[in-house]
Amino acid sequence: MSSRPAPLLTTHRELALWCERQRAQGPLHFVPTMGALHQGHQQLIRRASQPRGQGIPSVLVSVYVNPMQFGPNEDLARYPRQLAQDRLLAAAAGAAAVWAPDTATIYPSGLEAVTRLVPPESLTGVLCGASRPGHFTGVATVVARLLALVRPDRLILGEKDWQQLVVLRRVVADLGLPVVVEGCGTVRQPDGLALSSRNAYLSPQQLLQAQALPRGLAAAASLAAAGERQAAPLIAQVRQHLQAAELQVDYVELVLPHTLAALPLAGPLALLAAAAHCGPARLIDHIFLMTRAPIVAIDGPAGAGKSTVTKAFAQRLGLIYLDTGAMYRAVTWWVQQQGVDPSDAEAVAPLLVGLDLQLGADQSVTLNGHDVTAAIRSPEVTAQVSTVAAHGCVRDALTAQQQAMGQRGGLVAEGRDIGTAVFPDAELKVFLTATVAERARRRAQDLRQRGFAVPALVELEAQIAERDHLDSTREIAPLLQAADAVELVTDGMAIEAVIQALVDLFRSRVPEDAWPGP
């Protein structure tokens, strides 16, 4: 990266001209900061620099110490300001420019006269907001103003300020702002202390004291891993560490990560958050508690491209790919090999006894010692898989096997009833679909690549429509979109764009601090 400082923008006109030029070349990603950049900020900038399937992004970093988010007795006057150093650090991490506006640019009508954006009390009256009234109104107002001036495609924020991230996601969603909000995991010192610009306030002795915060959270996480789910003992564990280090405790709370509502005990995903004063600095930190690794359920009709994108999505997030469709195809192939009528459930049932069905890490499929990876993709299997899958005996046998595979979590499964029947408690459910015409086009391309005869598109469309009807009307486990699933229509989307959309959905539910990925 560059050893020169990033170009500096200060006026509204300079910003507008620069953004116009960058948007003409590709995506624009934005990292808002208050300056005093450190390695945590640089990680945000590096993340913002990564392509998301729509070209190489330009990264803009803002440096603005927002007076509206500081209370009367807080550290506005002494907050670290080092713009020259910030420009060097930003450029080294990949920023294309640094924007350092003054207050007149951000609040043209004046700080007191500006319209203020007030997020929901349920999100701002707890945790940090309880002792910092008005803070998140200031954060929401300034970020909304920054977004209006920059108009980025993607907003990159740190998970270290988790409550701030939750509030800003809500603001963006409620206002329908055309920007993707992406969180980035907390960056820590080797001793575990989360990086913060305010760490500069601390003396060497105070830095040692401050280690009690991450250590206390880690001790509570160990307690939870040993089976403790009640909030009170977990909170007490953190408080004990903080008080032993003579830190002044602001709060220690166990809450739901996305609503910040208090929890009496830790559920599948809980946030244990704490704040404490160490000398002149107020420190915040958190840890996520999980009862198992995350599960993603991706359902949708045949030919929607589920297998292709799910494999890549699983690899990108370090999840195991569970191809349930391949399992049903393998059983269908076995039924055909045995010369059994696929529509005769009583004849199919005995074939399931002692069935040895294995899915390899390399996506290979073996059945009773036979490698059927290629055979199960034949048109003959495709034509009868819905019939076989509709039998209760088949659904029960394979659903039980899939649920056994998912007991520890850490997987993504795709099929027809994953979110409704197999993993109804999945952290993320997606209904991936496309129009019949689009799926017919993809099916023709797939058959051609595999060396099979390709029917006319109109015939493929008829086949796909018929399979949709069979899958959605069968009596047992019909193809349905789960009530809490997100529909993703992929017509016109490149594969990489679909994968990125899935990653964004996953990260909106499972933080990097909880599941870092590979």
Q: Looking at 38, 41, 241, 286, which residue is catalytic?
A: 41
d(CA 287, CA 257): 10
Selection from 199, 219, 120 nearest residue 163 by Cα:
120
Sheet of 411-415, strands arranged across: 320-323, 411-415, 295-299, 428-433, 486-489
DSSP state of 262: B
- Grouping H, G, I as helix, E, B as strand and the rest as coil, residue 481 is coil
Is 41 designated active site?
yes
Measured CA to CA, the distance from residue 73 to residue 70 in angstroms comes to 8
Q: Are 288 and 271 in contact (CB under 8 A)?
A: yes
Q: Is 348 helix (H, G, I), strand (E, B) or coil?
A: helix
Nearest 5°: the CA angle 245, 249, 250 is 155
Strand boundaries in 279-355, DSSP class E: 281-290, 295-299, 320-323
Look up residue 477 and give its two tokens.
Answer: 């486990």
Q: Is 368 left (phi over 0), alpha (psi -120 to 50) or beta?
A: left
Edge-first strand order for the sheet with 269-278 is 248-255, 269-278, 281-290
Q: Output the six-digit token pair for 96.
A: 């294309």
**Triad 367, 372, 378: Cα angle to 5°:** 135
Partners of residue 433 on adjacent β-strands: 489
Residues annotated as part of the active site: 41
